[in-house]
Amino acid sequence: MNVVVFDLETTGLSPERDAIVEIGALRVRDGRVVEAERFETLVRPLSAAGEPLRIPWYAQRVHGISDEMVRNAPGLAQVLPEFLDFVGGSAVVAHNVGFDGGFMRAAARRHGLVWSPPAEYCTVQLSRRAFPHERSHNLDVLAQRLDLTFAPGGRHRSLGDVQVTAEAFVRLMERLQVRG
């Protein structure tokens, strides 16, 4: 299966009110994570009028991305078409794809584009199927359960989360195929 695993970091939880500040993605081909095929960029959050938006302290506390870090980053109007080209016609995977996919749909709509991958897979849902008796399926717990580790400083940064999510996806798919 060939998919693009992606993760977003944002200024908050609302796709309509909040902004994307980082996009990370890796391609998985034939059950292997292809580290060389990656997409990674910070995004300067801008209002509809094109004014810079500040990253709230509570969001900075989660992902560590500051206003200073995104000051010279490209805006979403530039980044989004590039990311959509990277995804192409691939299915996508995310840990809680409803969140990331919701942000992508809202962002694409605001920029006159369309987010419509042929399929969206969620590693939270796959984890629930693979480990039905477990209560927690957050990325930290799933990584521990599958013996995966985050790169130093990688947790809650898009590419660090994507690296673990991609490996988790491969292992979950293997586990679920074995179980039938």
The residues annotated as belonging to the active site are: 156
* Residue given tokens 């984890």 in the structure block: 127
CA distances from 1 to 28, 117, 132 (A): 8, 14, 24
Q: Please work out, in degrees rounded to the nearest 5, the angle formed at the alpha carbon of residue 176 by the alpha carbons of 174 and 177.
A: 65
Q: Which of 112, 142, 105 is nearest to 15 (CA)?
A: 105
Q: Where are the alpha helices (DSSP H) in the chain?
A: 57-63, 67-70, 76-87, 97-110, 123-130, 139-145, 158-179
173 CB contacts (<8 Å, ≥6 apart)?
A: 1, 31, 126
Residues 9 and 20: beta-carbon distance below 8 Å: yes
